[in-house]
Chain A
Amino acid sequence: MKFKYNPFESTSIAPLVIFRIFFGLAMTYSTGRFVVLGWIKKQYIDTTFHFSYYFFDWLPYPNQFVIYSLFFFLLTSSIGILFGYLYDYCKYVFFISFNYIELLDKTYYLNHYYLVSLLSILILFLPLANTFSLDSYLKNEKKNITPRWHIDILKFQFAIVYLFAGIAKINHSWLFEGLPLKIWLPTFYYIPVIGPYMSLEITSIFISWMSMLFDLFIIIFMLIKRTRLLGYITIIIFHFITGYLFSIGVFPLIMSLGMIIFFSSEFNQKIVNKLEILLQKSNFNIHRKNLLSNNIKNYKNYIFTYKHFNFNEIKQKLTTFFIVIYVLFQILIPLRYLLYPCDLFWTEQGYRFSWRVMLVEKTGTATFWITDPKTGIEKYIINSEYLNNYQELQMSFQPDMILEFAHYLQKKYSTNDYKITKIRAEVFVSLNGKQSKLLFDPQLNLCHLNDSFSNKSWIYCK
């Protein structure tokens, strides 16, 4: 059987247009919410220390003015993307501002922000504003077709999120102990009717299984035309419930809006048409005919005339090459944990960038002891004097952050004639509400350890 997928086959651009509008909308809302909640100050300005990402520790930490400017650029570029105005500039501004903010402190790493980061890369290559946008209106030109990989890469990206989130749930604690839902669900005892049942173990186990099956199979439902609507309704319900129960920010919104990409071109075109009618009604645009994209009939003609995009062969091969590389990375990165020994949930080696969403309940208590090089006396540090609550909590169970913090302390308290050479930490971690255990030998000198991708053999296997 011959694999007959041609990524350069032309298809309707409607799904991309709808994606642009909803992505712009979600990002505008997300950024606005962040500003209104006062999180810029709390997370990025009122903090003394920031946990950097591996490979990005060279990135300078900007001053207050630059941080606020980044958010201003993020907001304006989100709005720009929403309306398709100056899209070719906005996409770069969005890419730079969003990712710069993300890289400031890994304390605030969230899977859905990582998803947005990936999307911000993808949209650099996608002509989201080629039609039904202010750009196309102003330039008075519209392109109603696009190579199909433009849409399929977005589908792939969303599929990866669900698929790996589902695979991650296939573990003993999640499926057979109902953990950590058994800890979280009882706190919703007050919900009418179902509240009392939230404390039952069977409820946690049932919901654990359901969410695992949902994550694993939702993409199949969305790919098959007959089950698509059912699948999408399930998505809305699932994300509404999780969004209502847990403080997971804009994740439900991004997923619910993003998954519309799976609907057919015709369906997406219908949404475009509806939006056009809305614009007509509001009399927003006098020369609306210029803005209007073609209806479905015309679009079919397009397909008829341009069967394939007329790219030159080298460009096609290069594009295919990069798509394959991207796809491979997306599959391999979440699987990199297999290269490390011990329990992933305990050591966290290969935990990030892997779509492990709401998977464990983890807390820790970390006390750092620094040996005074002159007297030999050990002194400890009061974590809250350097870290905010959230930073302290995240640091207290993540080995790479513990190491980075220890090195920061070493640097901070060392001078030319006062060189600190020994810092140790007593770190007790509690996983899924179980009794806390030492994460590593409390006598271990953290000054001599360096973070890397190689196995951190100093962490105790659980």
Chain B
Amino acid sequence: MRKYIHVLILITIIGCSQKRKNPEPVPVLNPKPILENIFDNLIIPNFRDVAQKSDSLVINIEKLCANPNQTNLENAKINFENTFISYQHISPYMFGPSTDGITDIGVLINLFPIDKIEIERSITGGNLVINNANRKICGFGAMDYLLYHTNETNLIIELSDINRRNYLKAVANDIKIKISNANLNWKNYRNTFVEDTKLTAQSAINELFNANVKAYELIKNDKLGIPLGIVIKQASGTRPTDVEGYYSGITKQLLLENVKAVENTWLGKSKNGNDGTGFDDLLSEKNTTLKENTKKQFLVIYSEINKISENEKISDLITNQYPKITAIFTQISSNTRYLKSELASALGLTLTFDSNDGD
């Protein structure tokens, strides 16, 4: 009998120790996989892409200025559009290396609408200094105006003015410098970002979350609300010229890409389509309803945006087919609560990226 007892004890010990070797997997809210994925597969490649494109933009603008002809103008335009579209994919990352602590590069190079009178005045006065004092005469908006505000024949004639050529070069150069600086700074930011794996108000994941929300609110307010004339502080009437990319008319593409950029950050999906770890993956364990709602709402938004055909411009539609654009606004607004408040509550994130006492 005693023998059996020994065997029994032995079996029990083995049984228990085996159990300990394979503890039940505990779901962990570690944001490190998200931070790594978004840093390596979204932030870095997206900044690299826009940096490369803005480098070649400077070259193409130089070419155009050296030899203003239709081919060079078209090359410059294509290059500009690609840079502008690529820029949308860094817009959710206007924090850390993208800012000097007060202003982010989004404000410095993509403030719209621009002040065309002031741009013309600067050109006439030979003022080539693009400083940060007046952000309405530089950046993508200024480039958009300079390359598209009149037909190509007239533009080429205009470029015989050395002041205008110099101004154009200065604007391109300013965009390039701001982006390449941010690009360089981001490359050195990996450890700061990826190793900050807490979930406090000032943690990296919370900063990323709040920046993505901010980018989304900019889409809602600056890209749609204001041009639609539905923000209270405005005088009555619509403002179709206030859209992003008014002169080139690529407003729809910019809008689409910007929404995609925000969704990609939420999904952890890179531009080439690889879906890595994102906020949605943390939700899979905690709140599948919210995950599904957000996904569905993004699809609704895309279908609304894609109701705009290739040859239609958002600025024209604001005047002619107002409901078509308000429908986009409504659908974008509806996603705010999923992306912002519900996501914060579900994951224990904070909607204030600074210190506060609670109780």
Contact A247 B201 (CB under 8 A): yes
Q: Which chain B residues numbered 225 to 257 have a C-beta less than 8 Å away from chain A?
A: 225, 229-234, 236
- Inter-chain CA distance A458–B10, complex, in Å, is 68
List residues of chain B with CB within 8 A of the CB of A382: 217, 221, 225, 231
Contact B353 A380 (CB under 8 A): no
List residues of chain B with CB within 8 A of the CB of A271: none
> Which one of A183, A190, A249, A367 contacts B198 once the chains associate, using CB atoms below 8 Å?
A190
Contact A362 B345 (CB under 8 A): yes
Q: Which chain A residues numbered 374 to 410 have a C-beta less than 8 Å away from chain B?
A: 374-375, 377-382, 384-385, 389-390, 392-393, 396, 409
Q: Which chain A residues numbered 150 to 182 have a C-beta less than 8 Å away from chain B?
A: none
Q: Which chain B residues numbered 290 to 339 have a C-beta less than 8 Å away from chain A?
A: 290, 293, 333, 336-337
Task: Answer whether residue B348 sits at the interface, using C-beta atoms and an 8 A cutoff.
Answer: yes
> Which one of A188, A200, A362, A367 contacts B26 once the chains associate, using CB atoms below 8 Å?
A200
A-B contact pairs, 20 of them (CB 8 A): A110-B359, A111-B359, A112-B359, A186-B28, A187-B29, A187-B199, A187-B200, A187-B347, A190-B30, A196-B28, A249-B358, A363-B342, A364-B341, A365-B336, A365-B340, A374-B236, A377-B230, A378-B230, A381-B232, A385-B233
> Given A186-B348, A199-B29, A381-B232: A248 and B354 within 8 A (CB)?
no
Contact A247 B356 (CB under 8 A): yes
- Residue ID in chain B nearest A392 by CB atoms: B351
Nearest Cβ on chain B to A397's Cβ, whole angstroms: 9
List residues of chain A with CB within 8 A of the CB of B290: 435
> Which one of A249, A429, A433 contacts B346 once the chains associate, using CB atoms below 8 Å?
A433
Task: Answer whether residue B100 sits at the interface, using C-beta atoms and an 8 A cutoff.
Answer: no
Contact B232 A379 (CB under 8 A): yes
Nearest Cβ on chain B to A312's Cβ, whole angstroms: 42
Contact A248 B231 (CB under 8 A): no
Instruction: Provide the B132-145 mask, 1 if CB < 8 A to any CB of A, else 0.
Output: 00000000000000
Of B197, B199, B358, chain A has the most CB atoms within 10 Å of the CB of: B358
A-side residues, CB < 8 A to B, are 37, 42, 110-112, 183-184, 186-190, 196-197, 199-200, 246-251, 357-358, 361-365, 367, 370, 372, 374-375, 377-382, 384-385, 389-390, 392-393, 396, 409, 413, 428-430, 432-433, 435-436
- Residue ID in chain A nearest B289 by CB atoms: A435
Question: Count the B residues whose beta carbon is within 8 Å of the partner chain — how many?
Answer: 45
Nearest Cβ on chain B to A359's Cβ, whole angstroms: 9
Nearest Cβ on chain A to B32's Cβ, whole angstroms: 9
Task: Answer whether residue B287 sits at the interface, using C-beta atoms and an 8 A cutoff.
Answer: yes
- Residue ID in chain A nearest B199 by CB atoms: A187
Contact A393 B351 (CB under 8 A): yes
List residues of chain B with CB within 8 A of the CB of A429: 341
Contact A377 B236 (CB under 8 A): yes
- With A187-B198, A379-B231, A384-B217 known, 9 other A-B pairs at CB within 8 A are A189-B29, A190-B30, A196-B26, A357-B359, A365-B336, A382-B221, A385-B233, A430-B342, A435-B290
Task: Answer whether residue B124 sits at the interface, using C-beta atoms and an 8 A cutoff.
Answer: no
List residues of chain B with CB within 8 A of the CB of A435: 289-290, 293, 342
Contact B30 A189 (CB under 8 A): yes
Instruction: Provide the B182-210 mask, 1 if CB < 8 A to any CB of A, else 0.
Output: 00000000000000011111000000000
> Given A183-B345, A389-B352: A110 and B357 within 8 A (CB)?
yes
- Inter-chain CA distance A378–B230, complex, in Å, is 7
List residues of chain A with CB within 8 A of the CB of B199: 187-188
Of A111, A248, A358, A390, chain B has the most CB atoms within 10 Å of the CB of: A390
- Inter-chain CA distance A362–B197, complex, in Å, is 24
Nearest Cβ on chain B to A91's Cβ, whole angstroms: 24
Interface residues of B, dominant DSSP: loop
Nearest Cβ on chain B to A137's Cβ, whole angstroms: 36
Contact B342 A380 (CB under 8 A): no
Contact A389 B351 (CB under 8 A): yes
- Inter-chain CA distance A357–B348, complex, in Å, is 17
List residues of chain B with CB within 8 A of the CB of A364: 337, 341
Q: Which 3 A-B pairs have the closest CB atoms?
A: A249-B357, A363-B341, A187-B199
Task: Answer whether residue B27 sits at the interface, using C-beta atoms and an 8 A cutoff.
Answer: yes
Contact A365 B345 (CB under 8 A): no
Of B197, B333, B346, B359, chain A has the most CB atoms within 10 Å of the CB of: B359
Contact B230 A199 (CB under 8 A): no
Nearest Cβ on chain A to B42's Cβ, whole angstroms: 23
Contact A413 B353 (CB under 8 A): no
Contact B342 A436 (CB under 8 A): yes
> Which one of B27, B231, B348 contacts A183 once the chains associate, using CB atoms below 8 Å?
B348
- Residue ID in chain A nearest B357 by CB atoms: A249
Task: Answer whether residue B272 sits at the interface, using C-beta atoms and an 8 A cutoff.
Answer: no
Of A186, A200, A413, chain B has the most CB atoms within 10 Å of the CB of: A186
List residues of chain B with CB within 8 A of the CB of A197: 26
Contact B340 A370 (CB under 8 A): no
Nearest Cβ on chain A to B21's Cβ, whole angstroms: 16
List residues of chain A with CB within 8 A of the CB of B128: none
Nearest Cβ on chain B to A173's Cβ, whole angstroms: 13
- Inter-chain CA distance A184–B345, complex, in Å, is 9
- Inter-chain CA distance A375–B235, complex, in Å, is 11
- Inter-chain CA distance A362–B341, complex, in Å, is 9
Nearest Cβ on chain A to B303's Cβ, whole angstroms: 22
Task: Answer whether residue B71 sits at the interface, using C-beta atoms and an 8 A cutoff.
Answer: no
- Inter-chain CA distance A429–B199, complex, in Å, is 22
List residues of chain A with CB within 8 A of the CB of B353: 389
Contact A370 B29 (CB under 8 A): no
- Inter-chain CA distance A347–B250, complex, in Å, is 46
List residues of chain A with CB within 8 A of the CB of B230: 377-380
Nearest Cβ on chain A to B28's Cβ, whole angstroms: 5
Contact B359 A199 (CB under 8 A): no
List residues of chain A with CB within 8 A of the CB of B22: none
Nearest Cβ on chain B to A270's Cβ, whole angstroms: 32
- Residue ID in chain B nearest A188 by CB atoms: B199
Task: Answer whether residue B344 sits at the interface, using C-beta atoms and an 8 A cutoff.
Answer: yes
Contact A247 B236 (CB under 8 A): no
- Inter-chain CA distance A396–B341, complex, in Å, is 10
Contact B348 A379 (CB under 8 A): no
Task: Answer whether residue B355 sits at the interface, using C-beta atoms and an 8 A cutoff.
Answer: yes
Nearest Cβ on chain A to B129's Cβ, whole angstroms: 31
Nearest Cβ on chain B to A367's Cβ, whole angstroms: 7
- Inter-chain CA distance A377–B230, complex, in Å, is 8
- Inter-chain CA distance A197–B27, complex, in Å, is 9
Nearest Cβ on chain A to B47's Cβ, whole angstroms: 26
- Inter-chain CA distance A358–B358, complex, in Å, is 8
Nearest Cβ on chain B to A332's Cβ, whole angstroms: 21
> Given A365-B336, A435-B289: A199 and B27 within 8 A (CB)?
yes
List residues of chain B with CB within 8 A of the CB of A362: 345
Of A196, A365, A409, chain B has the most CB atoms within 10 Å of the CB of: A365
- Inter-chain CA distance A319–B200, complex, in Å, is 48
Q: Which chain B residues numbered 15 to 36 have a C-beta less than 8 Å away from chain A?
A: 26-30
Nearest Cβ on chain A to B29's Cβ, whole angstroms: 4
- Residue ID in chain B nearest A34 by CB atoms: B357
- Residue ID in chain B nearest A355 by CB atoms: B359
- Inter-chain CA distance A265–B280, complex, in Å, is 58
Contact B232 A367 (CB under 8 A): no
Contact A380 B232 (CB under 8 A): yes
List residues of chain A with CB within 8 A of the CB of B341: 363-365, 396, 428-430, 436
Contact A361 B345 (CB under 8 A): yes
- Inter-chain CA distance A197–B231, complex, in Å, is 48
- Residue ID in chain B nearest A409 by CB atoms: B232
